Structure 1
């Protein structure tokens, strides 16, 4: 089900900050309980459970005892909510009581599944100094009482952060109702959302930022989720040479830190034969020889003498060139493998000539 906010909040593009200079005791206590937003990553930036990959997101306060225990591929315990979870997250205890690192699914095998940022209809928030925050989806693991109120909007929305320290990497908006907080993440000058690491893990690979947030999604296909945001690529399956991240209306480009062939095996191809090569016979023998042709011109002997060939030489043939086409095998209709030109010279009084062709593999020719 799509997560929606009141229209009056969705249309907010610029926030007017109302600083809160004093934080009450209750807020200070809540801040101490909330811990750091930065996850410890004790289990690494990626988890694999039942063949599905998950990416480290942030640290949250949660009651591990109320969760269902699972096991990752390394045999370590991980935890999931037993009931419906809008994030589909996994949790790993972070070493402090009540704190856990949250991991979000990458959905590599089901890339059409909505990433958290796609489940909300909300525009960017832009602060007075030009800082842009993009919607990252619902925040079911944090509540206003563990955050610090830092401002409000003209529409009556209350804005929270993990602490009063600036710059704020994340903002959380509430309309005062029972719905989950709406999470926003700051875009960095380099392009990626501030909570994402560099290099970025995805699909078992590492990627470095290759461009700012001015990339294009044209020609790209959604291949999964990087944290709360959609991951895009030219091809549908890993390994990926490049990926892009869709954060709000910005597209951030990444390149794999190790060269890949784009998921395809390169195959060697033979060069196309030239016209001359196409006429050559496919003979595998390594032994070669030559063909020598002798040509004589003479008058035909029409007598009854079976041993006679001619009655005399035709000496006027001197200077004539005769071309003999050599074909493989015994068929005279086969492809020509060589042409031998015989020039009639002074031999035999100008009636005879001889010529030897180029080397050919041993075989039968006609």
Structure 2
């Protein structure tokens, strides 16, 4: 009986101190295997008196069960320990910043176009777009510029054939809208690219963008145009800005005006940017010519309207302080990334 107690104490101590599954398995074999001390105790029974054998055998079986249970429990503990250690060693710190994908941003001309569209939609205008390739009829003749008119020299054009060309102004869209909507009221803006055979320099490009506006209805006056353009100037360039009209000539408007905005550099005092005048030209405008209305199907005695055309590049250059129109078309990533903060 003393050997059983001593063996129990020895096994319990060794099992409690083991720290890996491999050693635990060795302990199982050493204590409970065929050649282990527990099995050896059973061999001692042949030397015991007959009356002691049952009690001795029972205690050996109890020892065997206890040691098996202790080893199984220890195995569960060691497996959990190994699992936690593996999780700890392989875990990912999801709090670290990820790698941001290289995402592009809107081009400054798109930023200005969207800003203008939002502004005019808020005033109740529709945004109408059209094809870059248009008929001479809508690009010139319906805009009161017949084939022999000298105003065509101002827009030396890129023709595809005798009747089609790359539009020289988005007025071509307006002429189609006028014809389709007559005699109903109209309130639209028409953004898009336009093309003219021109020299490329700091202020000119053979391709540029426009947004033209057209309002037709009853009792539409030049004062309505001025109020609209003053709202536009203050929204785009600041609430302290003023505008002025200067007489001008456009074949499709009468009277026609050039529109200037007070200089954003000197606030109207005069500086090199505005050539000492205090004003910077931003767009052309005027009352829709009666001939244009009549050709589209309106009665000029009843209907009137105004139109204006603004260069998107011109607005962007003034708003963002860009000194060369060619920057818009060089595809320089460094230039484009400067405008992320305006999105």
TM interval, shorter chain, is: under 0.3
Greater C-alpha radius of gyration: 2
More helix by share: 2
| TM-score of the pair, normalised by structure 1 | 0.26
TM-score normalized by the length of structure 2: 0.28
